[in-house]
Amino acid sequence: MATRLAASEDLPEITDDYLDWLTRELAAHAEAYDRSGEFPRAPFDLLAREGLIGLTVRPELGGRGANLSEALRVLAAVAKGEPSTALILFMTYHYHANPHRAQGWPAIYERLAADAVAGRGLIGGLRVEPELGTPVRGGLPATIARRTGDGWAISGTKIYSTGSTGLDWYSVWAKTDEENPRVGNFLVKAGSPGVTIEHAWDHLGMRATVSHAVHFADTPTPLDHAVDVRLPQQWAAAAGDPSLAIWNALAISTIYDGVARAARDWLAAYLNDRIPSNLGASLATLPRVQEKFGEIEALLQVNATLIRDAAARYDAGSPPSAIAVNTIKYVATANAIRAVEIGLELTGNPGLSRKNPLERHYRDVLCSRIHSPQTDTILVAAGRAALGQ
């Protein structure tokens, strides 16, 4: 991956014009990576050259120290251009934005921060397993961390491992082999002995996330790379911290809203350029088309308002509850899907042709439904809270 100097005076100002440029540069790669299903190396090389990998690293460690609102602005621009890149990037942004990282990872954190500032150090959370599924719904992982003479040996399988072939670090959710097992995150350097990547990701959309299966067979990692390991009941007691829920919900909302906005922009150009011979004017002049396009605008405006307000509240120290922010994810992703569906209604067959990007945007935006927490979890929690149960 290309690197850049971390000097603050060398970093570009993140203006709206700059973000529009970034979207265009990334969009030039989107179709190729969708078709190949490869890790989006060229987009990440660009982000590295622009000094954007370490966006949320604290300034005293060479980063920009971006807050949630600022990070979402960049993620929105990246997602509008190449959304798989945005999904992989989000994980690294959140790891460095969490103020507890430097406290809980004292021996290694500064190394990770320096790598991110230099345009490397991509971190991905590997949590989902073939039998357990996502740990969000409860249960202990089958992946085991066994104590060795000088560290840990990790064994197990993780699936849906976003960024797998391009990550520098895996944060592996595993349990210890102790009499009273602890569970938590073990940092494993990509390419370590015993790591095998099974190219199992062959998905409807978001294909360049390379969310393959990663197998660990007695993979060694140093003792201090057990960066956040607790008893299960301690994790349950910490569940009230809304930080993870807020970053996850708003980032996922932003990324798929970005997909819908890319679809909206393509649709606007198509409707203005398409002049049927029996009409003698562009489709954009038809009141019915204008009405449906207005519906798209309304859906996306609601998304923008919800996401920006919640992020601003978080940055101001008055965050919404986890329940509230997860309902934003539910509404925003549903709105994004509906916005692209309206585009397909207006275009008919051309919108589903692979030569037009609307088909790709639709496949990508549908993937918003799979991210945790999923709809049933969100609505049950909201309903239970509203009913006082």
* pLDDT exceeds cutoff 60 at 249: yes
Mean pLDDT, the chain, whole residue set: 92
Q: pLDDT band at residue 242, thresholds of 50, 70 and 90?
A: confident
CATH 1.20.140.10 residue ranges of the chain are: 241-387
Share of the chain above pLDDT 90, in %: 79
- CB-neighbour burial class of residue 179 (10 A; exposed 0-12, middle 13-18, buried 19+): exposed
What is the CATH code of the structural domain delimited by 8-121?
1.10.540.10
85, 118 Cβ separation under 8 angstroms: no
Closest CA to 29 of 357, 337, 366: 357
State how far the Cα of 231 lies from the Cα of 218, in Å rounded to an integer.
Answer: 22
Strands (E), the chain: 123-126, 144-147, 151-161, 169-176, 183-189, 195-198, 212-222, 226-230
CA distances to 6, 235, 325, 333 from 371, in Å: 33, 21, 14, 10
Indicate where the chain has its CATH 1.10.540.10 domain(s).
Answer: 8-121
Determine the pLDDT at residue 389: 87
- Cα separation of 299 and 287, whole Å? 19
CA distance 66 to 60: 12
Mean pLDDT of 212-218: 98
Q: Residue 301 pLDDT more than 70?
A: yes
What mean pLDDT do residues 69-98 have? 96
CB–CB of 327/374 below 8 Å? no
**Average confidence (pLDDT) over 279-302:** 96
Return the CATH class of domain 241-387: mainly alpha
Alpha-carbon separation of residue 228 from 69, 79, 363 (angstroms): 26, 30, 36
Predicted local confidence at residue 236, as pLDDT: 66
pLDDT at 237 over 90: no
Q: Is the pLDDT of residue 172 over 80?
A: yes
Taking the whole predicted model, whether its pTM rises above 0.85 is answered as yes
- 99 vs 82: which has the higher pLDDT: 82
Per cent of the chain over pLDDT 70 is 93
- Residues contacting residue 126 through CB under 8 Å, at least 6 positions apart: 158, 161, 170, 171, 172, 173, 214
Question: Does the domain spanning 125-234 belong to CATH 2.40.110.10?
Answer: yes
Residue holding tokens 């690197």?
Answer: 3
Q: How confident is the model at residue 151 (pLDDT cuts 50, 70, 90)?
A: very high
Alpha-carbon span 146 to 161, nearest angstrom: 22
Q: Which ranges in the chain are annotated with CATH 2.40.110.10?
A: 125-234
Query: Could you give phi then psi for residue 220, rounded to 5 degrees?
Result: -80, 145
Tokens (6 digits) for 43: 């987009």
pLDDT of residue 6: 43
Long-range contacts from 273-281, C-beta under 8 angstroms, 24+ separation = none
Range 267-289 average pLDDT: 93
Read off the pLDDT of each residue in 160-180 and give the average, rounded to a whole number: 94
Q: Provide mean pLDDT across the span 132-161.
A: 89
Average pLDDT over residues 275-284: 89
Q: What is the largest CA-CA distance in the chain?
A: 79
Q: What is the mean pLDDT of residues 333-350?
A: 96
Kindly report, residue by residue over 5-50, the tens digit of the pLDDT: 444 456 778 999 999 999 999 999 999 999 999 999 999 999 999 9
Radius of gyration of the chain (CA): 22
- Tell me the mean pLDDT in the region 354-368: 97
Structure tokens at 139: 């249960």
301-309, Cβ contacts within 8 angstroms, sequence gap of 24 or more? 302/331, 302/332, 302/335, 303/253, 303/257, 303/260, 303/331, 303/332, 303/335, 303/336, 304/257, 306/253, 306/331, 306/332, 307/72, 307/250, 307/253, 307/254, 307/257, 307/332, 308/69
| CA 183 remoteness from chain centre | 24
CB atoms within 10 A of CB 369: 13
Kindly state the average pLDDT of the residues 226-253.
81
In three-state secondary structure terms, 364 is: helix
pLDDT at 184 over 80: yes
Q: What is the pLDDT of residue 240?
A: 53
CA separation for the pair 117, 5 (Å, rounded): 8
